[in-house]
Structure 1
Amino acid sequence: MTTPAHPARTTPTSRDVARAAGVSQATVSLVLGDKWQGRVSERTAGLVRTTAAGLGYRPNQAARSLRLGRTRTALLVVPALTNEFFARVYAGAAATAAEHGFGVVLYPSPDGTGPARDPFASARTALDGVIASSMATGALGALRSAGLPLVMLDSDPGDPDDTDAPDPRPGGAAAHVNLAIADGMHQVAAHLLGLGHRRFVHLASAVDSWTFDVRARALTEALASAPDASVRTVRAALDVHSAREAATRTLTDSRTRPTALICDDDILAAGACKALHRLGLRVPHDVSVTGFDDLALATALEPELTTVRLPAEQVGRRGMAALLAVLEDRTPDSTELPVELVVRGTTAPPPAR
């Protein structure tokens, strides 16, 4: 007894979708290419999408990319892969990219905030655009020379043009997506001043970048509202060990010891807390500590860290949306993303003198 052969399953084509929906192939291409507005009614567009989904139709992205002259790929350049903030930026960018049929390649600058090399033989042939997070435009000369649209995240909107790049744009980029960093530091200062603190140490990042410069300037401005407040700046590399050593040096002398340590980053704050514990000082009873970023580390500390929450995933999403807008000749959203002070257990009124 022979078993009847089952008909071979075939992959549905745009012609199958058109036939099932009762429309032309051109209409299917317009709708699934998201170019139907003003050409096809909303009812017909909905019918085509429903029919395509029911048939399991998937557009041939490779062929579509060849027609459009695009790779549907963006490059996200970050200073390092070891920082959780940049991982969250990538997650947001990749999520928005996927919603529009794009992919995102993550690339760390090999020298931290130094010049980023072109990871391809020619970025122009491999990418549609570049997104760079927390870097200077000048560090991206090799990538900008490819003439690709550049979107800068958490970067100086007034950065001068790279004169070696073709078609330079104001600010050295096609778009900027920034956080309200200065407002975040103002929130920190207002919180600590409200608790009664007047002797501060700013544990600042030794990384030379716009975002940390903004934090320093904003802190100075905010503390100027209290004439009896004083602040000293101590710099440290962005790692726990360096922060612990820097904090120890400024905490040892009880006569000059601050009542609050304001840290540029949660990693620096973790190092400061370790220094305090090793010196037998209590957080926050003897010294209050604040951070910046609200990394997972903030709630791993005991007590949990008072810090500024930065919406990293939203930064990535907004950055990818800005690149898509530039590619489609639309104006990207340039409003700053708000940040929020999260008060936890590492801040309290200063000890009685």
Structure 2
Amino acid sequence: MKTIKGPALFLAQFADDKAPFNNLKNITTWAASIGYKAVQIPTWDARLIDLQRAAEDMDYVNEIKAVVKEAGLEISDFSTHLQGQLVAVHPAYNEMFDAFAPKELAGDLKGKSEWATQQLRWAAKASHNFGLKTHATFSGALMWHTVYPWPQRPTGLVDTGFEELAKRWLPILDEFDKYGVDVCYELHPGEDLHDGVTFEKFLEKVNNHKRANILYDPSHFVLQCLNYLDFIDIYHDRIKMFHVKDAEFNPTGRQGVYGGYSGWVERAGRFRSLGDGQVDFNGIFSKLSQYDFDGWAVLEWECALKHPENGAIEGAKFISEKIIRVTEKTFDDFASTGADENFNRKILGIS
């Protein structure tokens, strides 16, 4: 068995124009000061990294490595959540996703997809340049507007949707394969890959591509009422990344999973800081350790109530206490009778 690495911190929710969150040097120094050992870097945030330079300029790569090392940290992974979203966008969401791409691509659905695909290609090379083996992203969505089948979905629509999604992602997956990096899709409502069934449909269409893997985040499964512990038993071979994020689901006589268009504070299902929600992290860390998960336990802070700095400080301690230092011994070794084939055969009554 392997011991999970951590704690690490996803920087997306913390990057800001105000110090100490305004550049990579300051934010990594701060993260280290509150107990983190690594950071996961969002590649769309120019305050933290220039993705194209990270793919093309090894001097720049070494500069970034030096900044992170000086803070006493490692880089756990890079993320292209926003770019991955744009690989596949239904026209109904076109304008809503304009903010995820350069201004000159506003309203240009095809242009944004092509830009996003190039971003992912750079992310593959950048990950290789930094010696990283996993990469976090979203799948995008062509079918999300049909998730609740009313009106009834036309026959073959889902199959056609996954074929198109696979068509867009296969060249990207091949690019990541060229550099020996796993693409880890965060299974997330709003994405076509949002649970085990949709991941399996996608996997079938990309010919079980070995680079198509999972970023496991139990908070999204709590809000879907999905058995997130059973999920690990089923998909542990494909789980290559882990976001440690808490959530709670408290349905009432007025609202349930869909939340009645309420804001996050008023919803029945909402994200919480670690330890404030309902996720069974003892069970999760046990199962991931059982299945030899050797990646990073990465805090993704999202909470409707608590201040992010408090969430980050508490989260580092929370993760450190949940990581199981796996044993190299068997607890009943003291009673061992040793290895003796003849003795074993005698016990079994085998002549």
Larger Rg: 1
Normalising by structure 1, report the TM-score. 0.26
TM-score, L = length of structure 2: 0.27
- Bigger relative contact order (CA 8 A; separation at least 6): 2
